[in-house]
């Protein structure tokens, strides 16, 4: 019976590799504002693309990645979005797309750098330009509304 190489790999080694891939994804987003291709991640972790895509599957199960239907394009690596959204965060001249209002502030929290959140009121279209420092956002009377109950967020995380 042939060995299943993935299953044969020592668990700690797999876990360590998963962490390397996860960090490589986030580092790419942080440095460029864009989602990495599997090839770019593979280059960063000195592995092949097939190995990286194997990790993608595990990170998706852990709810750390949301992938497009092709299984290789990153739609969400929260707080970062791999596709354009209405929530744009500017930090050090780099523009980041965030998945939602929560994640827009999350980008600044993750980067530990001051920045500006650009978004809009979903009802009126009024633009929001919210400056956020290391200690948090400037005073603002805007509000955040979440339509989906917490227990249902992952039923359809893109809609949430």
Partner 1 sequence: MLFFRSEEKVREWCNVHGYPMRPLVRIDQLWTLATTWYSTRLQENSRRPQPEEMRMIFAGLGLEGEFWDPQSDSFD
Residues of the shown chain interacting with partner 1 in the complex, contacts defined by CB under 8 A: 19, 23, 26-27, 30, 62-64, 78-79, 87, 99-103, 105-112, 119-124, 126, 128, 130, 132, 136-137, 140-147, 149-153, 160
* CA separation, residue 152 to residues 47, 149, 157, 158 (Å): 36, 5, 8, 12
Q: Which is nearer to partner 1, 37 or 106 (CB)?
A: 106
Q: Which is nearer to partner 1, 8 or 159 (CB)?
A: 159
Q: Which is nearer to partner 1, 43 or 102 (CB)?
A: 102
- The CA dihedral of 147, 151, 155, 156, to the nearest 10 degrees, is 30
Q: Is 125 exposed, middle or buried (0-12, 13-18, 19+ CB in 10 A)?
A: exposed
Q: Which is nearer to partner 1, 12 or 70 (CB)?
A: 12
Q: How far apart are CA 91 and CA 109, in angstroms?
A: 11
Instruction: Confirm if 130 and 140 have CB atoms less than 8 A apart.
Output: yes
The least CB distance from residue 73 to partner 1, in Å, is: 20
The least CB distance from residue 7 to partner 1, in Å, is: 24
The least CB distance from residue 57 to partner 1, in Å, is: 17
The least CB distance from residue 2 to partner 1, in Å, is: 34
């Amino acid at each position: 019976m042939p060995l299943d190489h993935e299953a044969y790999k020592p668990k700690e080694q797999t876990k360590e590799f998963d962490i390397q891939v996860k960090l490589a994804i986030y580092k790419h987003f942080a440095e460029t504002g864009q989602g990495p291709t599997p090839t770019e991640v593979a280059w960063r972790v000195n592995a092949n693309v097939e190995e990286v895509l194997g990790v993608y599957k595990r990170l998706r199960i852990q709810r750390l990645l949301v992938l497009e239907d092709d299984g290789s394009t990153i739609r969400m690596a929260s707080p970062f979005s791999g596709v354009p959204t209405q929530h744009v965060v500017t930090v050090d001249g780099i523009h980041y797309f965030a998945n939602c209002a929560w994640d827009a502030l999350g980008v600044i929290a993750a980067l530990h750098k001051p920045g500006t959140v650009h978004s809009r009121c979903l009802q009126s279209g009024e633009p929001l330009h919210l400056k956020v420092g290391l200690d948090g956002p400037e005073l603002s009377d805007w509000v955040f509304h979440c339509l989906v109950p917490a227990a249902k967020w992952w039923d359809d995380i893109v809609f949430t």
